[in-house]
């Protein structure tokens, strides 16, 4: 397409394809603005598949790609691997008839599908959600084969809506990372740290296949890696980027986050520059984190073990509600602080990572324990009579299976009756970005015209389309492994 020199110079200065489209109204116009053609690039290394990000999505993509024989590399910008997957609570939702039957829980892939879609107000992509819920049990079995050790049983994680969460024996995400890095070693997949991917290179800015990535090393050295078959971007979410998150939801600028500091979404714009579409960027989830700094301190799962009270010692919400509903209720409290209350069985019932996090919160003043409810009330400074009345009323609801606040009988199982008692001090923190780069049900990145970008795949929290407006607890870990695995397989095979 012919384009005048002045106009071309102006578009070049604008720097992005988005700007070019805005000016010319035609995708093809932006093609002619490509500054650097792939032909002009000297490739430092060549692989079949390049994976960006070493969290759950990235590592499962890499191992799956290598399982098909593809020569694969993982690039990680931080000096430690694992991203949010390293610090995750680890709850993994998947239908599991064998474990669920033991507890008398009825479940099906259809139910997981419906709850995921409905729990996100039907704003997820049904095709993608169908694929995710159908393949989650396979991904769970695959992880076991890779060496991840799961604790027996299932439970309902906070905001999980149904007891289908699995968790690892090792705390946080370390069980997942240990097994998958061992698989990387076995398959000869290098995991390069301090390798910050600045952009993905496409044959032309808005057309053709993706061919490689530009990497910035420590000290600013630039390198280019070529991908013969495909690139999987699994670069996580942007909860730790106050500027980006408040661009989509200005209320969130000042809040703390539960996330690792690399969750900054710095590849969203570069992918948009080569045509990738985004979905649901303003769907951002909050989670109660420790009041002092927002970090995850457990105490909120399994839901069956805990109640939440306010500064007055009263329960104010059914604790098994959707996460956005609980977040709204906490933020509506005058202090914006809630106190999860557990007894010793609830404390012992926390998953390993969550309990470790809770134990660590004592010194920050976000966790408390006392032999009686009277003494606990004194420590958290709520009226003791009210706290005891709330606990009694809840225990009665467990007996009658009828909760005045509407908690599901599924999670009216354990009374709070045996000391010592425990409390947390929590407020809402930015936890999960449910939107991101749009993918189809094969994990291929699609452009703003709904066409796939050849060779480009994405998975995990970097993408949007699974969770809609509200993520069901336990679905992110399941998603990152399930869709990560699919992205790796497809990138290697296509
Ligand atoms: C405290 C906490 C508890 C959680 N608990 C649960 C839970 O129990 N169940 C559940 O379902 N979900 C949970 N979640 C959410 C879930 O853990 C995450 O959504 C999931 O782990 C994300 O995995 P990922 O692979 O997509 O991203 P990550 O694990 O964040 O990995 C992305 C990686 O990409 C790297 N990266 C980013 N940009 C670049 C770049 N430009 N170049 C190179 N590398 C880059 C990052 O540094 C990071 O290492 C929790 C999250 C947190 C923070």
Condensed to tens digits (0 to 9), the pLDDT of residues 65-112 reads 999 999 999 999 999 999 999 999 999 999 999 999 999 999 999 999
What is the average per-residue pLDDT within 116-143? 98
Give the CATH number, domain containing residue 333.
3.90.700.10
Phi then psi for residue 278, to 5 deg, are: -115, 155
Residue 310: pLDDT over 90: yes
pLDDT in the model for residue 367: 98
Q: Answer yes or no: do 62 and 182 share one domain.
A: yes
pLDDT in the model for residue 39: 72
Question: Given 375, 407, 430, which residue is the final one in a domain?
Answer: 430
Q: Mean pLDDT for the chain?
A: 92
**Over the stretch 70-81, which tens digit does the pLDDT of each residue have?**
999 999 999 999
Residue 22: pLDDT over 90: no
The protein residue with its alpha carbon nearest to ligand 1, atom 17, reads: 88
Count CA within 13 A, CB hemisphere, residue 324.
16
Residue 116: pLDDT over 60: yes
The response to whether residue 88 sits with its C-beta less than 6 Å from ligand 1 reads yes
Residue 177: pLDDT over 90: yes
- Ligand 1 mean position, distance from CA 85 (Å): 5
Q: Answer yes or no: do 364 and 492 share one domain.
A: no
Task: Kindly list the catalytic residues.
Answer: 323
Residue 25: domain span: 1-33
Q: Answer yes or no: do 426 and 464 share one domain.
A: no
Question: Given 430, 445, 460, which residue is the final one in a domain?
Answer: 430
Q: Which of 432, 425, 424, 397 is nearest to 413 (CA)?
A: 397
Q: Which of 22, 21, 24, 25 is nearest to 7 (CA)?
A: 24
Q: Answer yes or no: do 388 and 322 share one domain.
A: yes
Count CA within 13 A, CB hemisphere, residue 269.
9
Q: Answer yes or no: do 268 and 157 share one domain.
A: yes
Give the CATH number, domain containing residue 448.
3.50.50.60
Residue 1: pLDDT over 70: no
Q: Answer yes or no: do 308 and 344 share one domain.
A: yes
pLDDT band at 6 (very low <50, low <70, confident <90, very high): very low
Q: Answer yes or no: do 6 and 127 share one domain.
A: no
The response to whether residue 231 sits with its C-beta less than 6 Å from ligand 1 reads no
- Ligand 1 mean position, distance from CA 65 (Å): 20
What is the average per-residue pLDDT within 279-295? 96
The response to whether residue 436 sits with its C-beta less than 6 Å from ligand 1 reads no
Q: What percent of the chain has pLDDT over 90?
A: 91
Question: Given 430, 447, 470, which residue is the final one in a domain?
Answer: 430
What's the length of the chain? 494
The protein residue with its alpha carbon nearest to ligand 1, atom 52, reads: 88
pLDDT band at 24 (very low <50, low <70, confident <90, very high): very low
pLDDT in the model for residue 37: 57
pLDDT in the model for residue 121: 97
Using a 10 angstrom Cβ sphere, with 0-12 exposed, 13-18 middle and 19 or more buried, the burial of residue 193 is middle
CA 202/CA 488 separation, integer angstroms: 19
What is the average per-residue pLDDT within 357-373? 98
Give every strand in the sheet of 278-279, ordered side by side: 278-279, 436-438, 463-464
Residue 23: pLDDT over 80: no
Distances in Å between the Cα of 81 and the Cα atoms of 174, 216, 345, 366, 400 are 11, 17, 34, 28, 48
The response to whether residue 89 sits with its C-beta less than 6 Å from ligand 1 reads yes
Q: Which of 324, 439, 329, 340 is nearest to 387 (CA)?
A: 340
Distances in Å between the Cα of 331 and the Cα atoms of 91, 326, 383 are 25, 9, 21
Q: Answer yes or no: do 142 and 263 share one domain.
A: yes
Residue 8: pLDDT over 80: no
Q: Which of 48, 81, 54, 59 is nearest to 485 (CA)?
A: 59
If DSSP states are collapsed to H, E and C, what string results for 341-375? EECHHHHHHCCHHHHHHHHHHCCCCCEEEECCHHH
pLDDT in the model for residue 393: 98
The protein residue with its alpha carbon nearest to ligand 1, atom 4, reads: 88
pLDDT in the model for residue 261: 97
- Ligand 1 mean position, distance from CA 141 (Å): 21
Structural domains of the chain, count:
3
pLDDT band at 19 (very low <50, low <70, confident <90, very high): very low
Q: Answer for the pair 244, 265: CB distance below 8 angstroms, yes or no.
A: yes
Atom of ligand 1 nearest to the CA of 259: 53
Atom of ligand 1 nearest to the CA of 459: 26
CA 348/CA 270 separation, integer angstroms: 46
**Over the stretch 187-241, which tens digit does the pLDDT of each residue have?**
999 999 999 999 999 999 999 999 999 999 999 999 999 999 999 999 999 999 9
pLDDT in the model for residue 494: 85
What is the average per-residue pLDDT within 433-443? 98
What's the whole-model pTM score?
A: 0.90
Q: Answer yes or no: do 128 and 270 share one domain.
A: yes
Residue 391: pLDDT over 60: yes
pLDDT in the model for residue 11: 31
The protein residue with its alpha carbon nearest to ligand 1, atom 49, reads: 83
- Which are the contacts of 113, defined by CB distance < 8 A and separation ≥ 6? 129, 130, 133, 134
Q: Answer yes or no: do 172 and 47 share one domain.
A: yes
Q: Which of 64, 78, 236 to mutate to test the pocket of ligand 1 (most atoms within 8 A of CB)?
A: 236
**Over the stretch 392-422, which tens digit does the pLDDT of each residue have?**
999 999 999 999 999 999 999 999 999 999 9
- Ligand 1 mean position, distance from CA 231 (Å): 18
- Ligand 1 mean position, distance from CA 84 (Å): 3
Atom of ligand 1 nearest to the CA of 236: 27
Residue 151: pLDDT over 50: yes
Residue 18: pLDDT over 90: no
pLDDT band at 127 (very low <50, low <70, confident <90, very high): very high
Q: Answer yes or no: do 121 and 200 share one domain.
A: yes
**Token code pair at residue 372:** 């009686």
pLDDT in the model for residue 14: 34
Count CA within 13 A, CB hemisphere, residue 316.
22
The response to whether residue 468 sits with its C-beta less than 6 Å from ligand 1 reads no
Q: Answer yes or no: do 162 and 296 share one domain.
A: no
Reduced to 3 states, what is the DSSP secondary structure of residue 378? helix
The response to whether residue 77 sits with its C-beta less than 6 Å from ligand 1 reads yes
CA angle 286–468–116, rounded 5-degree value: 95
The response to whether residue 262 sits with its C-beta less than 6 Å from ligand 1 reads yes
pLDDT band at 3 (very low <50, low <70, confident <90, very high): very low
The response to whether residue 58 sits with its C-beta less than 6 Å from ligand 1 reads yes
């Amino acid at each position: 397409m012919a384009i005048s020199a002045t106009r071309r110079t102006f578009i070049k200065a604008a720097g992005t394809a988005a700007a070019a489209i805005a000016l010319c109204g035609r995708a093809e116009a932006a093609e002619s603005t490509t500054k650097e053609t792939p032909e002009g690039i000297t490739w430092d290394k060549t692989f079949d598949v390049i994976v960006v990000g070493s969290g759950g999505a990235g590592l499962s993509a890499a191992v799956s790609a290598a399982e098909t024989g593809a020569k694969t590399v993982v690039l990680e910008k931080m000096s430690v691997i694992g991203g949010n997957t390293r610090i995750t609570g680890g709850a993994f939702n998947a239908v599991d008839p064998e474990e669920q039957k033991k507890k008398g829980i009825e479940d099906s892939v259809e139910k997981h599908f419906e709850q995921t879609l409905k729990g996100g107000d039907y704003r997820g992509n049904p095709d993608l959600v169908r694929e995710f819920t159908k393949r989650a049990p396979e991904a769970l079995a695959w992880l076991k084969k890779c060496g991840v050790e799961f604790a027996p049983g299932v439970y309902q994680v906070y905001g999980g809506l149904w007891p289908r969460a699995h968790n690892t024996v090792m705390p946080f995400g370390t069980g997942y990372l240990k097994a998958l890095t061992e698989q990387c070693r076995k398959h000869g997949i290098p995991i390069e740290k301090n390798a910050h991917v600045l952009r993905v290179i496409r044959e032309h800015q808005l057309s053709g296949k993706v061919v490689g990535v530009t990497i910035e090393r420590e000290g600013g050295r630039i390198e280019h890696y070529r991908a013969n078959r495909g690139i999987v971007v699994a670069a996580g979410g942007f909860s730790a980027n106050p500027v980006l998150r408040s661009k989509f939801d200005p209320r969130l600028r000042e809040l703390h986050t539960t996330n690792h500091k690399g969750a900054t979404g710095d590849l969203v714009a570069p992918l948009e520059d080569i045509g990738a579409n985004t979905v649901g960027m303003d769907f951002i989830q909050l989670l109660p984190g420790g009041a002092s700094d927002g970090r995850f301190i457990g105490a909120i799962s399994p839901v069956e073990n805990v109640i939440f009270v306010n500064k007055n010692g009263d329960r104010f919400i059914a604790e098994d509600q959707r996460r956005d509903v609980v977040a709204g209720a906490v933020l509506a409290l005058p202090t914006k602080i809630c106190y999860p209350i557990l007894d010793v069985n609830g404390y012992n019932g926390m998953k390993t990572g969550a309990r470790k996090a809770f134990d660590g919160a004592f010194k920050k003043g976000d966790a408390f324990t006392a032999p009686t409810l009277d003494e606990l009330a004194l420590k958290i400074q709520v009226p003791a009579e009210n706290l005891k009345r709330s606990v009694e009323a809840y225990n009665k609801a467990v007996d009658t299976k009828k909760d005045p606040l509407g908690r599901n009988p599924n999670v009216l199982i354990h009374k709070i009756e045996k000391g010592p008692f425990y409390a947390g001090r929590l407020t809402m923190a930015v936890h999960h970005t449910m939107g991101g780069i749009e993918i189809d049900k094969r994990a291929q990145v699609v452009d703003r015209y709904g066409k796939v970008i050849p060779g480009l795949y994405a998975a995990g929290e970097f993408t949007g389309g699974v969770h809609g407006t509200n993520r069901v607890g336990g679905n992110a870990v399941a998603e990152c492994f399930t869709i990560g695995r699919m992205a790796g397989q497809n990138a290697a095979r296509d």
